[in-house]
Amino acid sequence: MDFSEALQNLKDGLYCRRKGWNGKDAYVYMMELEGCEPCLAMFTQEGKYLVGWLASQLDIFGDDWEVI
């Protein structure tokens, strides 16, 4: 799937990742906290949370996104 489809899935509360990512355990999700604007966050291959994840150009144009 492409990034626009992945983004819609993220908005629907699903977790997504790219098949081509080196970190096989990494995924992106939409984080919503009370009193804050929603943002994208990533669970990294190191087992840490990265709040405010931004897609690279390669991620935006990639067509290997998948729901996990």
The reported pTM is: 0.89
- Detail the DSSP E strand segments found in 1-68: 16-18, 27-31, 39-43, 49-51, 65-67
Domain count, the chain: 1
pLDDT in tens, the chain (68 residues): 999 999 999 999 999 999 988 877 899 999 999 999 999 999 999 999 999 999 999 999 999 999 99
The domain in which residue 27 lies consists of 3-67
CA torsion sign for 37, 13, 66, 45 is positive
